[in-house]
Amino acid sequence: MDAIDVIVTKRDGRELSVEQIDWVIDAYTKGVVADEQMSSLAMAILLNGMTRREIGEWTQAMIRSGARMDWSALPGRTTDKHSTGGVGDKITLPLAPLVAACGGYVPQLSGRGLGHTGGTLDKLESIPGWRASLSNQEMLDVLGEAGAVICAAGDGLAPADKKLYALRDVTGTVESIPLIASSIMSKKIAEGTGALVLDVKVGSGAFMKTVERARELATTMVELGTDAGVETVALLTAMDRPLGRAVGNALEVAESVEVLAGGGPDDVVELTVRLAREMLQAAGLSGGKDPEQALKDGSAMDVWRRMISAQGGDPDALLPKAAETLEITAPSSGVLAGLDAYGVGLAAWRLGAGRERKEDPVSFGAGIMLHARPGDLVREGQPLMTLHADETSRFERALAALEGAYVIGETADPGLLPLVIDRITA
């Protein structure tokens, strides 16, 4: 095989063969194919696309580049969720223990935040003592003890994807749906879960800005999971406004605990329960306890406490708080017509809640608390949001990100997306 032949095949709009795909993924992982050659191939894929067969074989080749996890030692069925990410998207935190409280086993491999979207591991690391890095045996032990585990993926899981992901980020090829879908699904299939629910976000605060593009991505991923023998379903959900009221690491943990205690914002509760039911149904476990009941009777909270403790965290510890706060008030009376998710996410990132590079630290206490949601009546001078940061110097740039991000009018924006837009199955 020769890298140039593979590049030219896709450059000319032709299908890559199984042999070409297997060879190029293996050779790139081993360093035989250079970064500049793989970036050229990634650009050709972005411009010319891939067939369902090609995407499936590309995904399987990335899975074969590393190890596959095995949960057959568990006495029940595994089910997992993946979100494409958004602003205030803390759903994994209450969802994993909720599903475990209803009879499922949830091996949740999560990531860190980059840019304006938060990362699940960053949020959980705001809990004193909590550990993200676990061995496979430690994961199995936590699953056996609590029924759910949330941790970082090991280096041995789809290493080809890890290398290609970093390359796509610096070569303008992130937007390719075949490469996005294969990146997500190679890790999720290698993770070894029996059922998978995908939460594909749509809107300004999401990677997919339009329903059409989100549906294309969701359909591709559902096909990949189904073809690999994993029961897979996807929901398209709104990210044209932030999810919940808390945006930022420790702030979102506190809101998640509130949900587990039977409270919390309506949209967070609704989406958590809906996804939990989808996960249980996909795993064939929908005949047991209903998620709403598990929130009310405290069993989901019990799982949360066991899960956090099993990973070294203290579920009773005080969460970090930012040293400084700044309140933003309504400039006039009326209805909060819109609240742009991207603007809020960018402001939270500038306050210190996110990172620009993967190696950058985050401020666990930084972020934004929203006091009004789109559609709420507000009075002039009423608090709209509170900014949290460790240094007052961060407020100016955060305020600049919020210019035009909220609008007060006579009625709510009729163009706001429903919380759950569509459901995609095989």
- What are the tens digits of pLDDT across the range 396-422? 999 999 999 999 999 988 889 999 999
Q: Which two tokens stand for residue 364?
A: 């666990």
CB-CB contact of 107 with 282 (8 Å)? no
pLDDT tens figures, 167-217: 987 898 988 999 999 999 999 999 999 999 999 999 999 989 999 999 999
Q: Are β-strands 79-83 and 195-202 bridged in parallel, bridged antiparallel, or unpaired? A: parallel
Q: What percent of the chain has pLDDT over 90?
A: 90
pLDDT of the residue at 103: 97
One domain for residues 382 and 240: no
pLDDT of the residue at 344: 97
pLDDT tens figures, 326-369: 999 999 999 999 999 999 999 999 999 988 776 778 999 999 99
Q: Which two tokens stand for residue 366?
A: 């930084």
Give the model's confidence band at 154: pLDDT under 50 very low, under 70 low, under 90 confident, else very high. confident
Is 70 exceeded by the pLDDT of residue 100?
yes
One domain for residues 17 and 135: no
CATH number of 42's domain:
1.20.970.10
Give the model's confidence band at 114: pLDDT under 50 very low, under 70 low, under 90 confident, else very high. low
One domain for residues 310 and 334: no
CB-CB contact of 112 with 144 (8 Å)? no
One domain for residues 338 and 257: no
Instruction: Name which of 267, 302, 285, 264 is nearest 98 in CA terms.
Output: 302
Identify whether 61 is part of a domain. no
Identify whether 70 is part of a domain. no
CA distance 130 to 310: 9
Identify whether 54 is part of a domain. no
Identify whether 149 is part of a domain. yes
Confirm whether 116 is a catalytic residue.
no
pLDDT tens figures, 228-285: 999 999 999 999 999 999 999 999 999 999 999 999 999 999 999 999 999 999 999 9
CA distance 339 to 202: 15
Q: What type of residue sits at position 104?
A: G
CA distance 425 to 218: 9
Confirm whether 82 is a catalytic residue.
yes
Task: List, as one string, the DSSP characters of 30-49.
Answer: HTSS-HHHHHHHHHHHHHH-
* Selected catalytic residue, list 82, 241, 277, 394: 82
Confirm whether 371 is a catalytic residue.
no
CB-CB contact of 363 with 384 (8 Å)? no
Could you say which of 316, 345, 377 is where a domain stops?
A: 316
Give the model's confidence band at 324: pLDDT under 50 very low, under 70 low, under 90 confident, else very high. very high
One domain for residues 36 and 181: no
Instruction: Name which of 221, 283, 211 is nearest 56 in CA terms.
Output: 221
Identify whether 414 is part of a domain. no
Other Cβ atoms closer than 10 A to 392: 11
CA distance 409 to 333: 8
Identify whether 66 is part of a domain. no
- Average pLDDT (23-28) is 97
* Selected catalytic residue, list 80, 89, 122, 161: 161
One domain for residues 294 and 261: yes
* Selected catalytic residue, list 187, 188, 277, 394: 187
One domain for residues 104 and 18: no
Element (H, E) at 19: helix 18-30
One domain for residues 290 and 352: no
Mean pLDDT (the chain, rounded): 95
Burial of 307 (0-12, 13-18, 19+ CB in 10 A): buried
* Selected catalytic residue, list 10, 168, 355, 388: 168
* Selected catalytic residue, list 110, 183, 186, 204: 183
Number of domains the chain is built from:
3
CA distance 277 to 290: 8
Note the Cα 312 to chain centre separation in Å: 23
CB-CB contact of 366 with 248 (8 Å)? yes
Confirm whether 187 is a catalytic residue.
yes
- Average pLDDT (127-134) is 97
CA distance 386 to 51: 48
- Average pLDDT (46-66) is 96
Could you say which of 316, 351, 369 is where a domain stops?
A: 316
Element (H, E) at 195: strand 195-202
CA distance 276 to 292: 9
Task: Supply the DSSP symbol for 239.
Answer: -
Task: Supply the DSSP symbol for 391.
Answer: S
CA distance 280 to 200: 18
Could you say which of 316, 335, 359 is where a domain stops?
A: 316
CA distance 79 to 276: 10
One domain for residues 303 and 375: no
Identify whether 400 is part of a domain. yes
CATH number of 363's domain:
3.90.1170.30
One domain for residues 97 and 226: yes
CA distance 222 to 230: 9
Residues present in the chain in total:
426
One domain for residues 12 and 36: yes
pLDDT of the residue at 117: 79
Identify whether 72 is part of a domain. no
Note the Cα 132 to chain centre separation in Å: 16
**Structural domain for 241, as ranges:** 79-157+165-316
One domain for residues 365 and 234: no
CATH number of 245's domain:
3.40.1030.10
